[in-house]
Amino acid sequence: MAPRAKAAISGLLRILWVSLFVVSVILAFGWFVLDGSTTRSRVVRSRLTIVVETPEGERSGSSVTQNTISFPGALTKAQGWALTEQLVGEVVAVDLGERGVLFSTFERPSVLSRRGGDAYNASLAPFPQEKFRGNYVSNASLNEKYAAYLDELNRLKPKSALLPEAMPALVRFVNLNDPTSVALLDPHDLAASFGRGVILKGATIEITDDPITHGIEDRLPWLRSSKVAEYLFPNPTHQPPPDAREVRHLSYDDFRRLPR
């Protein structure tokens, strides 16, 4: 090979290596600035079971959801994102036969009354971090302590009753094919919506490795119409709604959370 050709190839290789180095530095800097986390994400699956007593006998429903907890650092943390969570799954449906179907939501009642926008499934509510501390070094960061807590839950897979104040908002649909037929339920007075003798008996949370539950679209077929967080009550003008009912803040995401 001619000396000139060898020099050209050598120059190209140097440029290539310099380019790879620069790209690596940029990626590393971007990771540090936008994330910089030294704690890996944790995944927790939980089963929510709701039990209802009726004159026809006890009825129950359950659903397994998955929560991915990430621990961002650097600039992301400085912006206030100490933890980020991604919820995937669907709500609980309790079939009460001819009386209708009770549904949980991914909303706290207190947040729903303030325009909604929650991503709540009560998965960790019965399990205090003080009780399930896990193992960590003496100088562990808050993120490391929380990660150890999540690891301990996944190891022990505890199960506990859910206190009434930790229950998600409950609803029913007069017509399962019509999202605007939704009505908020009073957990202390299910008889007002489903008839005499219908009582919320209780709810439990259990940490599990079971697969995420699917099939809510079979009960609420309108969920198939969109993969985004459409509101149950369409509002294309984005004007204040004609009434102030809390259910007007419900969206598709309050019944089914898809992976992002």
Residue 68 pairs in a beta bridge with 43, 86
pLDDT of residue 151 exceeding 70 = yes
Query: Could you tell me the two tokens for 241?
Result: 């709604």
11 falls in which pLDDT band (50, 70, 90)? low
Which pLDDT score, from 0 to 100, does residue 245 have? 85
Which pLDDT score, from 0 to 100, does residue 199 have? 97
How much is the average pLDDT of 122-141? Answer: 94
Query: Could you tell me the two tokens for 203?
Result: 């709810």
pLDDT of residue 169 exceeding 70 = yes
Q: Which of 11-25, 112-126, 138-152 has the lowest mean pLDDT?
A: 11-25
Question: Do 127 and 158 meet the contact criterion of CB atoms below 8 Å apart?
Answer: yes
Q: Does 169 fall in a domain?
A: yes
Q: Does 233 fall in a domain?
A: yes
Q: Does 177 fall in a domain?
A: yes
Which pLDDT score, from 0 to 100, does residue 80 have? 42
- Which residue segment(s) compose the domain that 103 sits in? 36-257
Rounded Cα gap, residues 55 and 245, in angstroms: 31
77 falls in which pLDDT band (50, 70, 90)? very low
Rounded Cα gap, residues 136 and 38, in angstroms: 14
pLDDT of residue 187 exceeding 90 = yes
Q: Which of 92-101, 168-177, 223-232, 242-251 has the lowest mean pLDDT?
A: 242-251
How much is the average pLDDT of 105-134? Answer: 90
pLDDT of residue 252 exceeding 80 = yes
Q: Does 2 fall in a domain?
A: no
Which pLDDT score, from 0 to 100, does residue 188 have? 95
Sequence-separated (6 or more) residues with CB below 8 Å from residue 175: 181
Quote the number of domains for the chain. Answer: 1
pLDDT of residue 23 exceeding 60 = no
Rounded Cα gap, residues 222 and 232, in angstroms: 9
Q: Does 30 fall in a domain?
A: no
pLDDT of residue 155 exceeding 50 = yes
The secondary structure of 50-66, three-state, reads: EEEEECCEEEEEEEEEE
Mean pLDDT, rounded, of the chain = 86
Q: Does 31 fall in a domain?
A: no
Rounded Cα gap, residues 197 and 116, in angstroms: 31
How much is the average pLDDT of 92-100? Answer: 97
Q: Does 11 fall in a domain?
A: no
Query: Could you tell me the two tokens for 78?
Result: 């400085």
Q: Does 13 fall in a domain?
A: no
How much is the average pLDDT of 211-221? Answer: 97
Which pLDDT score, from 0 to 100, does residue 117 have? 79
Which pLDDT score, from 0 to 100, does residue 22 have? 52
